[in-house]
Amino acid sequence: MPQLSQATKKLINRYQQWHQSLQPKEGRITIHVDEVASKVAAFYEKIRGIIDWKEEHLMRRAAIIRKLKRHFVNWEIINFSGEIAEPLVLELIRGGHFPNDKIEEAKIAEVQKVINKYIFIFKNSITAKKRKRKLQFYNWLLEIAACEIEETLCPFRKERALIDYMFELMKERIVLNEGAIAIKKVKDEEKDIQIYIAVQQALFKLDRPIIGYNLLKYKFPQWKNNPPREWLLEITKNIYIIWDDIKKDLSHLLGKKFYTICEKYDTPYLLLGDVLTEENPTEISKKISEPEELETLIKKAYRKRLSTLKSRLSRAAFYSTLSILLTNALSLVILEIPLAKLITGRFTPITILVDILGPTFLMFLFVVTIKLPSKNNLNLVIMETMKIVYGKVDTYEIKILKERGVITRFIIGLIYLFGACISLGIIFGIFELAKFPPTSVIINIIFVALITFAGLAIKKRGKELTIEEKPGGFLGFLSDILLLPMAGLGRWLSNKWKKYNAIAAFFSALIDMPFWVFVEFLEQWRNFLKEKKEEIH
């Protein structure tokens, strides 16, 4: 019978500790917020979710950042010395970001220590001369603080265990060919950091702030363990250098190549994590020690993930298509028709039909052409899972292609430009046939670019469980030439929307603070009423 590797035994032990941490503890005092105030706050947070335009798993941290900014507005952090942990935690629970009656009251003191640490860093760091760099540093530090506050309130024990497990195994498996070492001069420490980043991106789609926070802990193990003042002061003196180093790590030239390998082989690790989560922790070692039993468990976990993936893609298909339909209709009524009448004086029924149904059909086309993993993919997943569980070492080589010459780069650039011109030409041709006014042409090109970017992202999600490699074929090559330029424009527009979201800024400045004051007053009022009722008895 095959033996479990030492890394797998360690992973099982950490999952057993996670299972134990879920057991209720007697005598502990938990934080409670009023249910009515919580429902009002949760509704507001859903509205904020629409306004802020962020992924669902990022909303909690976005809420923490928002509330931190509100408690010490911009540079007032320098003069800040108050206790804000309790109102911050209460607001997060009211907003539905953390469960009611589950978090221990002792966590409030821990959160306050975290806040004090980052205030200390900001107060004692050398101020940047340029205001833009100073503002960027302030925002980065707030993001890192939000990551640590989130981890303090909700430790990611099993996710951390799986990241460490895959990281340790990938360090053994990923090798750089001689060309990569000679051309890029990648050191072992640099390679390990890139693997660490890629593993986090592949397994849980973590974003730059949380990866940056994890890199701080990786480089400075004392970071989270209530470090002494002398150590923290030394770190603070060099915090801008540390920040720049982390930015370089996150923008490494070979980062995408490490990610490609980790993303391809992340499925076995995710399935193993699912098995350890669902099965009895006291019996799991014995079960997965037997290959037949492990195969059964992997098949079960795979089918469950595949079912979840199908339902997620179905929801994405429905909601994205509906969203595009409604957005187009709204844009048509409040923006395009008034502008068209003002400039050209006309807007035909055919134009209206194409305006609404064209972009909607494009999104529908993206989601219905998503291909799920084939049956052969499951066999490959089972084989890869057994290799990692029983310690069979494979190697994945990172190859560096020779740098393209000037002529080659010029030809590739021309092909890319040619694809962009054809794409825009087709779009312009359709709009011209439908007699679109100039303003509607511009608006709809923006829509098409955003839809192309979102559609390709959704199609990529359909490959989350896929290990097998499939040739793209001529049609795939042709679609890449035509779609990638539009997707690039869509990504740029999407990033600009996130950066300059004026609606979100309006909410933060004029609505956020008075709303949360009202919610706190509502909770205090309900507590007062409860006290009066108790006096009657």
Residue 451 burial (10 A CB sphere; 0-12, 13-18, 19+) = buried
Residue 236 pLDDT > 90 = yes
CB neighbourhood size of 6 (10 A):
10
Total domains in the fold of the chain: 2
**Domain-located, residue 495:** no
Q: Are residues 260 and 294 in the same domain?
A: no
CB neighbourhood size of 343 (10 A):
12
Q: Among residues 458, 459, 443, which one has the least CA distance to residue 493?
A: 443
**Domain-located, residue 434:** yes
Q: What is the pLDDT of residue 53?
A: 40
Question: What is the SS3 string spanning 138-190?
Answer: HHHHHHHHHHHHHHHHCCCHHHHHHHHHHHHHHHHHEEECHHHHHHHCCCHHH
* CA–CA distance, 398 with 265 (Å, rounded to integer): 14
**Domain-located, residue 169:** yes
Tens digits of per-residue pLDDT, 491-536?
887 766 655 444 444 444 444 455 445 545 555 555 555 555 555 5
* pLDDT confidence band for 404 (50 / 70 / 90): low
- Among 132-146, 208-222, 424-438, the range with the most confident prediction by mean pLDDT is 208-222
**Domain-located, residue 24:** no
Tens digits of per-residue pLDDT, 115-161?
999 999 988 888 777 888 888 898 899 999 999 999 999 989 999 99
Q: Are residues 209 and 302 in the same domain?
A: no
Q: Torsion angle of alpha carbons 276, 279, 284, 287, nearest 10°? A: -110
* Residue partners of 82: CB distance under 8 A and separation at least 6: 71
**Domain-located, residue 21:** no
Tokens of 410: 């010029």
* pLDDT confidence band for 294 (50 / 70 / 90): very high
Q: Are residues 201 and 66 in the same domain?
A: yes
Q: Are residues 104 and 184 in the same domain?
A: yes
**Residue type (1 letter), 138:** Y
Tokens of 343: 């400039």
Q: Can you say whether the dihedral through the CA atoms of 427, 428, 431, 436 is positive or negative?
A: positive
Tens digits of per-residue pLDDT, 102-122?
889 999 999 999 999 999 998
Share of the chain above pLDDT 90, in %: 34
* Residue partners of 376: CB distance under 8 A and separation at least 6: 468
* CA–CA distance, 105 with 151 (Å, rounded to integer): 15
CB neighbourhood size of 367 (10 A):
19
Q: Are residues 298 and 234 in the same domain?
A: no
Q: Are residues 439 and 520 in the same domain?
A: no
Q: Are residues 100 and 124 in the same domain?
A: yes
**Domain-located, residue 33:** yes
Q: Per-residue pLDDT averaged across 483-494, rounded? A: 81
Tens digits of per-residue pLDDT, 303-359?
999 998 888 777 777 777 777 777 777 777 777 777 777 776 666 777 778 877 887
Query: Looking at 283-297, 331-345, 376-390, which range is the least confident one?
Result: 331-345
Tokens of 327: 């957005």
Q: Are residues 379 and 312 in the same domain?
A: yes
* pLDDT confidence band for 461 (50 / 70 / 90): confident
Share of the chain above pLDDT 70, in %: 80
* CA–CA distance, 220 with 491 (Å, rounded to integer): 34
The model carries a pTM of 0.80
Q: Per-residue pLDDT averaged across 274-286, rounded? A: 90
Q: Which residue has the higher pLDDT, 449 or 198?
A: 198
* CA–CA distance, 39 with 41 (Å, rounded to integer): 5
Among the candidates 470, 493, 510, a domain finishes at 470
* CA–CA distance, 379 with 299 (Å, rounded to integer): 9
Query: Looking at 36-50, 223-237, 417-431, which range is the least confident one?
Result: 36-50
**Residue type (1 letter), 305:** R
Q: Are residues 213 and 296 in the same domain?
A: no
Q: Per-residue pLDDT averaged across 414-437, rounded? A: 83
**Alpha carbon of residue 52 to chain centroid:** 14
* CA–CA distance, 313 with 317 (Å, rounded to integer): 6
**Domain-located, residue 479:** no
Q: Are residues 414 and 505 in the same domain?
A: no
* CA–CA distance, 260 with 262 (Å, rounded to integer): 6
Q: Torsion angle of alpha carbons 42, 48, 52, 53, nearest 10°? A: 70
What backbone phi and psi angles, to 5 degrees, belong to 176? -100, 135
CB neighbourhood size of 31 (10 A):
21
**Domain-located, residue 491:** no
Among the candidates 470, 492, 512, a domain finishes at 470
Assess contact for 38 and 94: CB atoms under 8 A: yes
Residue 94, domain extent: 29-265+501-525
Q: Per-residue pLDDT averaged across 426-435, rounded? A: 82
Q: Which string of DSSP letters, residue by residue, matches 492-529?
A: HHHHHHHHT-HHHHHIIIIIIHHHHHHHHHHHHHHHHH
Q: Are residues 301 and 201 in the same domain?
A: no
Among the candidates 470, 492, 514, a domain finishes at 470
Q: Are residues 354 and 457 in the same domain?
A: yes
Q: What is the pLDDT of residue 259?
A: 94
